[in-house]
Structure 1
Amino acid sequence: MYEAIEAFRSKLHLLERDIHGRRLHFPHLREHCEKNKMQEDPAMKDFVSRLAENFKERFESSPKLSADILLFVRQPFSVSTDGQWTADAKKLVPSIDEAALQMEILAMGTSDLLKAQHKDALVSDFWINVVPQARFKNTRDIAMLLLTMFPSTYICESAFSSMNAIKSQDRNRLSDSHLGQCLRIATTEYKPDIRKVASFRHSHFSH
């Protein structure tokens, strides 16, 4: 997610420069201006500039991550043990022990088992389910921070997917109240004890 944000930020800056120049990314605008011998509307330039500024403000509080820290989370066996990135990681996660972090990276780099498991696992699965917390606490702390940096995004996307599944074409008359109740059931992590609930219910037999 962080990489997607940075990529979009760079694209906005590229578009901002391009609309002032050759307009390579605005072929229809370029064709229209050349055909009618006119300059583009200043509002178009202003729109892209305001969009870039708005995007910057929304993510201004997000930490700046070095390329090596991102590489470490994706490819933990490819980074240097004593590079500048460990100092950057310490600034990002002040609670980690930088000296212990370097030792953990060395230990991880010599583990053939972890290397083999890393090849077959997703990045998130590798750090959550494969790397043991007891041996690699500092490395896991860094990875988990990056993997959970935008948790609300996942929650929103998950809820929206559930809503689309619930409010299908055949259930288009579902009220907002009922939709809310269905969403609560679909997104909650609570697991009811059905047997216990059922034990409090008594059947009414006809006489």
Structure 2
Amino acid sequence: MNELNTKLQGKGLFVHEMHSLVKAFMRKMQFLSSQLESNTLTHMQTLKEVPPSADHLRRYSSMLGALHDEFSRRFEDLRTIEDEMHMISSPFTCSVDNAPSDVQLELIDLQSDAVLAEHFKSGSLLDFYSSLKEENFPNMRRHAQKMLVLFGSTYICEQTFSTMKFTKSSYRSSLTDDHLSAVLRISTSYIQPDFDALVKAQQRLDFSHEEKIT
């Protein structure tokens, strides 16, 4: 579980990636539980060194089964959006029949476009959906936005909490909530400012102001 927890704290993970990690962990629990029932200890080095009794094997198997059931219960809500997550993460291989009705025709257009397919292979998921034209794929873009911002990995939570502790120290106890919110937003964002565009915009404003004066 420590390994799973570490993976879930990875930077920049989307919900479908985190769901895949959880599903893999649950499958391992099922597999190891069945291995214990049959007294197969191939993947359990410690138990191989000190073979347990049959009663202990049954108990360990039952514990793994209970752990699997608890994970299944806690992540039950994600199963209801599995098809949608798969559509967003693999739009060129997902089934059109299983896709939401409002994107089915758009999905056919998307899967038939060789240029977009190549772009999907070579770029990031965010870049791909950002490049889709609003007039051609409005519903695909909307579904992608919903899935990709559903919730981030726990990395952003840990980062925000650490930043808040560092920022709101005893020397800055009078920091307002609005200022703290702005600091946290900037500290946990990775948007690269377009300085060239900002400078050009300022130059246009200055030029317009000079014209009015003259």
Whether TM exceeds 0.5 here: the answer is: yes
Residue matched to 1:146: 147
In the TM superposition, what is the alpha-carbon distance from 1:122 to its structure 2 partner? 0.8
Match of residue 26 from structure 1: 44
Give the 3 Å change call, closer, same or farther, for CA 47–175 of structure 1 in structure 2: farther
Residue 54 and residue 68 in structure 1: after superposition, are their counterparts in 2 closer, same or farther (change >3 A)? Answer: closer
Structural mapping, 1:124-203, within 5 Å: 124-127=126-129, 129-149=130-150, 151=151, 153-154=152-153, 156-161=154-159, 186-188=183-185
Residue number in structure 2 paired with 1:205: none
Give the RMSD, CA atoms, in angstroms. Answer: 3.9
The correspondence of residues 46-65 of structure 1 with structure 2, limited to 5 A, is 46-64=62-80
Aligned-partner Cα distance in 2 for 1:9–1:73: 23
The count of corresponding residues between Structure 1 and Structure 2 is: 166
Q: Which residue of 1 aligns with 2:193?
A: none
Give 1:131 deviation, angstroms: 1.4
1:78-112 alpha-carbon deviations (Å, 9 max, x no partner): 445xx5323xx34xxxxxx2xxx332123223444
Contact preservation (8 Å) 1:9, 1:52: yes
Question: Deviation string for 1:119-170 (max 9, x for gaps)?
Answer: 331123312x111233212323333343334x1x43x421313555787xxx
Gap regions ≥5 residues in structure 2: 1-17, 190-214
Which residue number corresponds to residue 14 of structure 1?
31
The 8 Å contact of residues 107 and 140 in structure 2, kept in 1 or not, is answered as yes
Cα separation, 1, equivalents of 2:94 and 2:78:
23
Question: Is 2:92 aligned against 1:77?
Answer: yes
TM-score (normalizing by structure 2): 0.58
Q: Are residue 102 (structure 1) and residue 99 (structure 2) matched? A: no
Aligned AA for 2:148?
L
Q: 1:142 to 1:42 in 2, by over 3 A?
A: same
Q: Which residue of 1 aligns with 2:116?
A: 114
Deviations 1:168-190 (CA, angstroms, capped at 9, x unpaired): xxx8xx99767997985653259
Determine the C-alpha separation between the residues in 2 that align with 1:54 and 1:179: 43
Give the TM-score taking structure 1 as reference length: 0.59
Aligned mates of 2:69, 2:171 — CA distance in 1: 40
